[in-house]
Amino acid sequence: MLLRRILRLALPALAAVLALGWARTGHAVTSALVKVPTGFVDDSLLAGFNLPRAFTFLPDGRMLVLELKTARIRMVMNQSRFATTDPIFTVTGVNSTGYERGAQGLAIDPGWPARPYVYVFYNGTDGFNHLVRYTASGQLSNSAAESITLGSARQIISDIPDVDANHQAGCIRFGPDGKLYVSLGEDEQVCTAQDSTSLRGQFLRLEVNNIPATAGAQPPRALIIPATGNPLSTPDSNAKLVWAYGFRNPWTFSIDPTNGRIYSADVGEADEEELDEVLPGRNYGWPYREGLDTVLPRTSCPEPGGAGNSANGYIKPIVAYHRDTALHSMFSLGFYRAVPGATANWPAAYRGTTFWGDFYFGQLHLLTGGTGAWAESAPEPGQPGAYWGTGFRAVTDAAVGTDGSLYWLQNINTPLLTGTVGVLHRIRYTGATVDVPVELPAASRLACAPNPVRGAAELAFRMPQSAQAKVSVFDVTGRRLATIFDGLAPAGETRVTWDAGTTAPGLYFAKLESGSRIDSERILLLK
């Protein structure tokens, strides 16, 4: 049967209406083969995962993968095999009952290995959601080491009730500002998405650097509230953590590493799926808006001013599409930025693009243009039909790797989406290596290229105005090895070079100091 569905593109640049068709039997697409445009291949790297939910890269290229129901953390070596110690850890106290519950999110501290922390979000058997930090030990900077030990659990947040088996969200990622961002579903308690004190249906922004290094219970909220930049003016300690609200189940999101913009898929109830550009302090409308539609009046929590009141100022999605009677769950595949010095960077036209698709179908869409001008990409040579890619079903996480390729997890790899076997994939560019200059994030953030580096590394930073600045390089113990800039930096970009000379291979840190502002960058020095 040919299923006709309509893609609704929310911004003026996306005003054209496209008719999309999928062949299906029940909820199964007839072809699950992954197809991508000419010049790209999709590598099926490693099978044998049990319902993989999230992954993260260590700076040396090793990967950690979190499984939804088993709550195992498995380390992948060279993107091709499991480490000899497998799993390296199993998260305890995880509630695996119900369709969506389990271990949801995984991230490593951007200060790794000086801050050897692994963060996990899970639904607990105690009836609460948990954000927990574990301390890693072992060979933390050796890409060939096959064992890392996790322990010393520190609860960061452990008091968000988990009432319903659905709408868990729980994706966690660090932004370029060093803050930890957490997506929270509304737990089928629809009205809570409009309550910024509820910690449901919201994005949180957390400061994790002030938490004691020891194991222990949840700290006071004051320790995890960022000192500046909190978008909601409120005395409530929960609301001070909120970055944006009004979501239903924002279960996957990606962050642009240059400006911190969040792109999140939010699963619809009955009418529309949506992709949102998540901006600070904004209200995305649930339970009064679903995609571009106005929801019928809510008797449990009526919309202020009546259903459809435009004065409420809810933010519209950048993409929305109609649901039908089949299962649907929109995902955000990732935000592409090239990696300075990487061996498999994609062409320049892909920098700053973002992907989305549907868990149950598999057509992969590419958006280009950026804030205020997002649009479906023009057809690429050799792309499969009307889409950039097909066969992207059961996607649960994605990220750009250290080589510049886009990696993604397939939760289940069967035509009928049955069973538990998941697969790690890589979308790899097969053309000539495309090197890039340092892509500087906003403000004075420090960046390095190439990274990893052999011999000499170029460091770049940007100043909003002329000011005194110092750039130094430190080892993992905090010992200063070199000062490579110390003086008046002009407004705009400054580039300096660190010649590592005879410095031993390993992980080092560059630090930019300017007044009260401190930025840092990890540098992996190779032989």
- For the 80-250+280-314 domain, the top CATH level (class) is mainly beta
Which DSSP letter does residue 465 get?
S
Q: Which of 475, 486, 477, 467 is nearest to 510 (CA)?
A: 475
Residue 370, token pair as written in the block: 């950026």
What pLDDT score was predicted for residue 440?
Answer: 55
What pLDDT score was predicted for residue 490?
Answer: 75
Q: Is the peptide bond before 87 cis (omega within 30 degrees of 0)?
A: yes
Amino acid letter, 364: L
Domain ranges in the chain with CATH number 2.120.10.30: 80-250+280-314
What pLDDT score was predicted for residue 441?
Answer: 54
What pLDDT score was predicted for residue 27?
Answer: 29
Cα separations (Å) of 499 from 74, 77, 341, 445, 455?
A: 36, 30, 16, 21, 6
Cβ neighbors of 90 (< 8 A, separation 6 or more) are 70, 71, 72, 73
What pLDDT score was predicted for residue 415?
Answer: 82
Q: How far apart are CA 505 and CA 501, in angstroms?
A: 11
Task: For tokens 């409530």, name the residue.
Answer: 236
Chain-centre distance for alpha carbon 500: 32
Q: Within 13 A of 62's CA, how many CA atoms are on the CB side?
A: 23
Q: How far apart are CA 73 and CA 32, in angstroms?
A: 27
Q: How far apart are CA 328 and CA 14, in angstroms?
A: 22
Q: Which residues pair with 244 in a beta bridge?
A: 203
**Which DSSP string corresponds to 100-157?**
S-SEEEEEE-TTTTTS-EEEEEEEBTTSEEEEEEEEEEE-TT-TT---EEEEEEEEEE
Q: Within 13 A of 449's CA, how many CA atoms are on the CB side?
A: 16
Give residue-wise pLDDT tens across range 25-43: 222 333 358 999 999 999 9
Phi-psi label, residue 217: left if phi above 0, alpha if psi -120 to 50, beta otherwise:
beta
Low-confidence ranges of the chain (pLDDT < 70): 1-32, 437-444, 527
Could you give phi then psi for residue 481, rounded to 5 degrees?
-95, -35
What pLDDT score was predicted for residue 442?
Answer: 52
What pLDDT score was predicted for residue 64?
Answer: 98
Cα separations (Å) of 393 from 6, 172, 294, 314, 357?
A: 19, 22, 29, 31, 8
- For the 447-525 domain, the top CATH level (class) is mainly beta
Q: How far apart are CA 144 and CA 91, in angstroms?
A: 24
Give residue-wise pLDDT tens across range 456-489: 778 888 877 777 888 999 888 888 998 988 887 7
Q: Which of 113, 156, 151 is nearest to 134 (CA)?
A: 151
Amino acid letter, 182: V
Residue 8, token pair as written in the block: 């609704």
Q: For residue 183, what is the enclosing H or E element?
A: strand 180-184
Q: Which residues pair with 66 in a beta bridge?
A: 54, 73
Amino acid letter, 5: R
Collapsing DSSP to helix, strand or coil, 447 comes out as strand
